[in-house]
Structure 1
């Protein structure tokens, strides 16, 4: 079993347990449930923003502990003050050290689009995402078939959220494309081997239809790379480890984004 299959298997068990602990009716009573989500698409296309989606990630299966003591409040506010277009918050605890509380905390301090970064396999998680204040969800083509993408994406859109579809190759793009997603992200990290190659984004750029906002994810460590990706039509750039490996991620983001001007 590769790490991706292991994560998904554990996620399904986790979701079933959460359904018992926090029923849907309880989630629907959240103060965030009736709020209007903020559009990541619009924020990525704003001229006064960088296009950077800055991520809060404590650890990962490939890198181990990255920044276990990060302050979600200070980092999320600092990211936005640095000129980020939006936030990405890992909510998986077992493999990434995150939680729903991290996203709720980021939401309470920021009016900006926030991506719930997790392994979505069930409608329950979509409702949960809305209840904790997420504006968009991530759907990973490597773990979902097209009918699942359409079902989960359709539910998210019906709740006012946007959907970022993550792909790794042409085959995933071809079989997954649907109007139930709003943005298409190319993950430069292979989730089965965890090897990273930025060339993946360049190879797939022209294959992504222009009606979708294009996002490049993982492995971006140099502002020049963003300039090259923009020339290929990318408008979003999800960056986590490059910032998080610094003791003060928000300062690393500020210095990085300053070089994009």
Structure 2
């Protein structure tokens, strides 16, 4: 476990830092909805540029089957002094321990894949070893998965059944997220006007992935995006 004893950075604190963009920039090769997005750009080059241009955090897909990722991608991204989110389908304690060992500061728990007791158990394990927890929800029913050990609640604007994206999902659910849980919005953020709207609604974090990777050089796209924020 190469990095288990390494001090963990706080994504929550980074998102609240007004000197940064609030963007959690994602590294991904493909997705279930679009197939291969970009399998040329290297994780080191992309995540280093994200860091240099003001990202508040970096999300790294480690799922192989659906996203073409690997734990070694997470490890490669640790060259940057920035909080890393392991984005995967987390279902057991081993994955939580593994995330910290490979340099993650935050784990993602997806409410659609877990019961409320399972979320509570995995979040408790994460907190016990110094990791932060981002809970992803998609609808009002999944709000019941929020528990004390959740640090951030992410609203995914993508419908898991149709893959359609609608930011009104975030605008509707933000009113019901506890005020002591930092709110993050995910998917469908393609321009600065959308960020402005979501920030005014109360969101502090903005997870963006495909928007950057649909170009040959994701780092350049991220730079242009940030220059307008």
TM-score, scaled to structure 2: 0.98
CA distance in 1, matches of 2:71, 2:61: 8
Match of 1:164 in 2: 134
Q: Residues 151-190 of structure 1 correspond to what in structure 2 (within 5 A)?
A: 151-173=121-143, 175-190=144-159
Equivalent pairs counted in the alignment come to: 229
Alignment partner of 1:233 is 2:202:
yes
1:113 and 2:83 aligned: yes
- Is the Cα contact below 8 Å between 1:149 and 1:180 reproduced in 2? no
Q: In the aligned structure 2, how far is the partner of 1:192 from the partner of 1:123?
A: 27
Cα distance in 2 for partners of 1:190, 1:113 equals: 27
Higher helix content, 1 or 2: 1
Distance (Å, rounded) in 1 between the aligned partners of 2:160 and 2:104: 23
Q: Please give the residue correspondences for 1:1-261 in structure 2 after superposition, counting only pairs within 5 Å.
A: 30-107=1-78, 109-173=79-143, 175-260=144-229
Offset from partner CA, 1:60-109 (integer Å, 9 cap, x none): 110000001121111001011111101000000111000000000001x1
Distance 1:98 1:151 in 2: 26
CA distance in 2, matches of 1:32, 1:218: 30
User: Which blocks of at least 5 consecutive residues in structure 2 are unaligned?
Assistant: none
Q: Residue 24 of structure 1 corresponds to which residue in structure 2?
A: none
Mapped to 1, the partners of 2:175 and 2:169 lie a distance apart of 12
User: Retained in 2: the 8 A contact 1:54–1:239?
Assistant: yes
SS at match of 1:67: coil
Structure 2 distance, partners of 1:152, 1:194, is 27
Q: TM-score, normalised by structure 1?
A: 0.87
When structure 1 is superposed on structure 2, of 66-75 and 234-243 the one drifting more is: 66-75
Shift of 1:193: 2.3
Q: Which has the larger radius of gyration?
A: 1
Per the alignment, in what secondary structure is the counterpart of residue 124 of structure 1? helix
Where does the alignment leave 5 or more consecutive residues of structure 1 unmatched?
1-29
